[in-house]
Structure 1
Amino acid sequence: MTDKPRIGFIGAGLMGHGMAKNIVEGGYPLAVLAHRNREPVEDLKGRGAEEADSVADLAARSDVVVLCLPGSPQVEATLDEILSGDASGKTIIDCSTSNPVSTRVLAERCRAAGATLLDAPLSRTPKEAWEGMLDVMIGGDAQDVARVRPIVETFAGRIVEVGPVGAGHTMKLLNNFVSLGYAAIYSEALAIGAKNGVTAETFHAVIGGGRMDCGFYQTFMNYVVGHDPNAHKFTLRNAHKDMRYVVSLANESGIASHVSSTVKNGLATAEAIGRGDHYLPTLSDIVAELNGIKRAD
């Protein structure tokens, strides 16, 4: 027997599988919920997890519920199911990239039901999720954060406490705004260069290793010049969703969204022409094609 809290995990997908693996291997009793792909669930069951039949069943088995879902609509629907039962004393940790406006409303609903909602979105990739080395930005009351920190530490290499509930998702969106803004800049710069005799390889030879180099730039360019289709596994559809949240937050805050709206519109175009399931670095191909440039193979 263990005196560790019982954990329920909803969203064992690309990121969530590794996170849940590290939770159960950290000695926590774990219940998981299957969705379309059963492979992660079967793997987790082989590591000692149990499978729940429904959200309600999972919540009843759990002291702490971790969510790793596509966005706010899915989080809201899941919280509706959890709060329809007895949620008193439970803690929900939302690791999704959600809209902070929604998160703050959900936190009030949880509080009224005697539960606690913390937002703990993620940075880095499925590789780091599997290795237990994700970056986590967590929002909530300091005492509540301290209580769940050992759980989060099973899948995080770095944890940054960013403020009250909602601040985690706000910081995640700001992080993604910066990175997706760079993706838009790289793509347009590469297209301008291609029209004027500067190849992607030449561009990379100058920028790579210089002051404007960074980890995000390297994964982006590992697709562009390294031709690795899996260099950066983040879909244009998810990028568009995140930028819609950024623009929504700017609007709610009364901030003029000149740059964020431009980045969002470029991603909206990518999804509208049927490329939503393609990974983010392919934005460079789309911007090139829309400007009459054919990428050299």
Structure 2
Amino acid sequence: MARNAGRAGWDVIGHTRTPASRERARAQGIEVVDDLAQAVRGADVLVTVLPDAPDVSAVLLEDGALDLLDRGALVIDASTVAPAASQAIHEACAARGLTGLDAPVSGGEAGAVDGVLSFMVGGEQEAFDRARPLLESMGTTIERVGPAGAGQTVKAANQLLVAGHLQLLSEALVLLERAGVDPGPAVRVLGGGLAGSTVMQRKASNMLAHDYRPGFRLDLHRKDLRIVSDTAQQDGLSLPLTAAVTQLVNALVARGVGGLDHSALHALTRQLNGARDDA
């Protein structure tokens, strides 16, 4: 994301929380500093992309990133956190004369690399209009979906859809395999019909190769599904299929393979049906 913003002409200074990730960023030509204050002080826009709400709070509040910005600066949190946590970030920004947006992304590692992410944005229209040119350097689908926290609610819906698609694709592949059908042509024809999806386009070949190297880790998807479950519970909703796929993701993480890609739901589905050669 930082690389694509830089290529689009934005003056980007990056900071990450580990030396190893800073070196990876430098290797991609990104200007990276070792100190958070160096990256944040004087910035017109601060973009954060972190694993969970405690990480966002640690960087913005405990480490003082918000206090290093000048009044009027724009804070875009592209992390995936609970809507209530995102609303608290908006309030912390407003208390300091800053403008906040929640702008979680979808598209995975491939979408970030190719600059084709989807941004689902919560916040005021004026702030969204300011942010849009920057977001367009990193993504192709940019939508304001409502007020503060709305972006996170839409991201929760996105994550339950992705998990459901992954599990149903896993089950379809197992069905094909057990029936002795060549899955390559089958996936191509399914992908060209109503059953086709971006999940199928990006994940089917990896599943067929039993390649579960992480693009989006299971442990992060488990966190996202917890957000879905908590939000549903608060609103008194019954989401039975969401509950089922959440338990399957939980089972994989409990096995100690949370670092694998979420497409490893395929491995679990194969194992449930007698296979013994997967992760």
- TM-score band, normalised by shorter chain: 0.7 to 0.9
Structure 1 residues 208 and 25, CA, compared in 2 at 3 Å: closer, same or farther? closer
Aligned to 1:111: 94
Counterpart amino acid of residue 41 in structure 1: A
Task: Give the counterpart of 2:5 among 23, 28, 33.
Answer: 23
Q: Deviations over 1:3-27 (max 9, x none)?
A: xxxxxxxxxxxxxxxx111222333
Listed one character per residue, the Cα deviations across residues 211-264 of structure 1 (whole Å, up to 9, x for unaligned) are 201221122211233x17268722211111111111011112221232222211
Matched, 1:212 2:195: yes
For structure 1, list consecutive stretches of 5 or more residues without a partner in the other structure: 1-18
In structure 2, relative to structure 1, the CA distance for the partners of 1:41 and 1:195 (3 Å cut) is closer
Equivalences for residues 1-297 of structure 1 within 5 A: 19-36=1-18, 37=20, 38-43=22-27, 46=29, 49-54=31-36, 56-80=37-61, 81-82=63-64, 85-87=67-69, 88-191=71-174, 200=183, 204=187, 207-225=190-208, 227=209, 229=211, 233-294=215-276
> Residues 77 and 205 (structure 1 numbering): CA distance in 2 closer, same or farther, change over 3 Å?
same
Percent identity (aligned): 30
TM, length-normalised to structure 1: 0.82
Label 1:295 to 1:40 Cα distance change in 2 as closer, same or farther (>3 A): closer
The CA RMSD measured in Å over matched residues stands at 2.6
| Structure 2 gap segments, 5+ residues each | none
Alpha-carbon deviations, 1:14-45, whole Å to 9, x = none? xxxxx11122233333221133323333236x
SS of residue paired to 1:254: coil
Residues 83, 113 of structure 1: 8 Å contact kept? no
What amino acid maps onto 1:235 in structure 2?
R
Q: Distance in 2 between matches of 1:84 and 1:63?
A: 12
Following superposition, the deviation at residue 124 of structure 1 comes to 1.4
Change (3 A) 1:139 1:242: same
Rounded to whole Å, the distance in 1 between the matches of 2:9 and 2:191 is 42
Distance 1:222 1:147 in 2: 39
The alpha-carbon deviation at position 109 of structure 1 amounts to 2.0
The alignment of Structure 1 onto Structure 2 pairs a total of residues equal to: 274
Q: Contact conserved, 2:52 with 2:79, CA < 8 A, in 1?
A: yes
Cα separation, partners in 2 of 1:206 and 1:156, compared to 1, 3 Å: closer
CA-to-partner distance for each residue in 1:174-204, whole Å, 9 max, x for gaps? 1111111111222234445655666755863
